[in-house]
Structure 1
Amino acid sequence: MRKARHAKVLGWRWRSNPLRRHSDVVEAWIVLLAWTAATVLAVLAGVVGAQGAQRAVEHDRAGRLPVSAVLVKTVPGSGRDVVTGIRYDRVLATVRWTDRSDGKATVRTGTIDVKPTAKPGSTVPAWTDGHGRLVSAPVGRAEAMTRVVLAGTGVALVAGMTVLGVGQMVRLRVQRRATERWGAEWERVGRRWGHTTG
């Protein structure tokens, strides 16, 4: 048995023909407007999201101050996982540094991760939050750029998909109303056809 072929005609809703309903034209406009609005809004939201992420990364980087710390001692056994035996490329260590954030020199100690080859008494880089607390190192330029791009892309996708979703809901509502009208008209016309048969 041969399969029936269905030819897809692009833009059929825009072409004038006797089978085209008013709802087909309305649907075509809804689709066009939804895609246009989704594209524009996605670009704008993506730019705003990327700028917000950029400001957050710059604020985070600006709040971390570098200090030179002296390695006091490493935490015993922190270079290898006791269960799996995996060696880590960083180990926990106690460090000492001079904090000048409050205007006077205060010696502080804390724990950071260092390379396993670092020896007690050596100088290691550390980062503080400007209030004497140790924090992790700021993100590098490549990671900061990745965060900005991902944030912008994510916001753009969410904004665009939201607009497309709303457009699809409106389109389905128009389709449903057209189908209801078509059904009501079929009921009216179908009764007359029924009387002429037989």
Structure 2
Amino acid sequence: MAFRGPKVWLWRWRRNPLRRRADRVEAWVVLAAWTVTVLAGVLAGLATARTVEHGLARERAEWRPAAARLSEPAPGRAADRPEDAGERVWAEVAWTAPDGSARSGQVRVNPGTDAGTAVTVWTDHRGRLVSPPASASQAELRSTLIGGLGGLSAAAVPFAAGRALRRRLEERRLELWDLAWARFDPLWRGRTG
């Protein structure tokens, strides 16, 4: 393990007689890559979170509960045991859409529920079945998580591009070292030994 001295802040920007043009270019590449990475991540994350939050708020405003009735008995037996109480099965229900037309579809209900039992379903403005809308706290959590994921995804692109450019600069720097060493090695060969 090589010994490294104390970390010097902003070492890429300090004056140094051994600093080459490639070192200065790398310093600017690192600065630009981190700046773009942070900006892209934050802006994309905020935009994604805002879009998700607006979409979920629109669902809460537009989706309405509707009274429906089971068209046929739900399959299975009524949950007699407490451990079966959380089980739900698909059953056919019928309801009236906002335009007055009769609609039907399948929803999850308790097993063994009798035909004609009242069930609450959620519908959109056209009367189609939808899942219950997310509450305000659920919407906030979802928008935060999806916004964070969107921000990380957007930040990955400039970060990866910066890493690839730095790798290419490092390869070029090593090529230049090889050229310089090939030039000076014959001069030093006779002096050592």
Q: Aligned residues: percent identity?
A: 37
The alignment yields a C-alpha RMSD, in angstroms, of: 2.9
Q: Which of 172, 176, 181 does residue 167 from structure 2 map onto?
A: 172
Q: Deviations over 1:146-191 (max 9, x none)?
A: 2211221111111212111111111222221111111101100001
Q: 1:108 to 1:49 in 2, by over 3 A?
A: closer
Within the alignment, does 1:91 sit opposite 2:89 as a pair? yes
Deviation at 1:131, TM superposition (A): 3.5
TM-score by length of 2: 0.80
Q: Could you tell me which amino acid in structure 1 is paired with residue 134 of structure 2? A: V
Aligned to 1:77: 76
State the Cα distance separating 1:52 from its structure 2 match: 1.9
SS in 1 for 2:11: coil
Paired residue for 2:131?
136
Residues 96 and 141 of structure 1: CA distance in aligned 2, closer, same or farther (over 3 Å): same
| Shift in alpha-carbon separation, 1:79–1:14, aligned structure 2, 3 A | farther
TM-fit CA distance, 1:75: 1.8
Residue 66 of structure 1: how far off its partner (Å): 2.1
Uncovered stretches (5+) of structure 1, i.e. residues with no partner: none
Superposition deviation, residue 47 in structure 1 = 1.3
Q: State how many pairs are aligned.
A: 189
Instruction: Give the 3-state SS of the residue equivalent to 1:145 in structure 2.
Output: helix
Query: Hey, what's the Cα distance between the residues in 1 that align with 2:170 and 2:86?
Result: 61
Q: Structure 2: which 5+ residue stretches go unaligned? A: none
Q: How far, CA to CA, are the matches of 2:23 and 2:121 in structure 1?
A: 66
2:54 aligned residue: 55
Could you say which residue in structure 2 is the equivalent of 1:155?
150
SS of the residue corresponding to residue 13 of structure 1 reads helix
Q: State the shift of 1:79 in Å.
A: 6.7
TM-superposed CA distance for 1:54, in Å, is 2.2
**Residues 1:111 and 2:120 are matched in the alignment:** no
Partners of 2:41 and 2:152 within 8 A in 1: yes
Deviation at 1:119, TM superposition (A): 5.4
Partner of 2:176: 181
Counterparts of 1:151 and 1:51 in 2: how far apart (Å)?
A: 10
Report the CA distance shift for 1:21/1:130 in structure 2 as closer, same or farther (over 3 A).
same
Partner of 1:16: 15
Provide the rounded CA distance (Å) in 1 between the counterparts of 2:123 and 2:51: 24
Amino acid at match of 1:26: V
1 CA distance for matches of 2:168 and 2:102?
70
The Cα shift of 1:26 comes to: 2.3
Cα distance change of structure 1 residues 197 and 76 upon mapping to structure 2, 3 Å threshold: closer
Question: What TM-score, normalized to structure 1?
Answer: 0.78
Residue type at the aligned position of 2:105? G
> Following TM superposition, by how much is the alpha carbon of 1:8 offset from its aligned partner in structure 2, in angstroms?
4.0
Partner of 1:25 in structure 2? 24
Q: CA deviation at 1:129?
A: 3.2
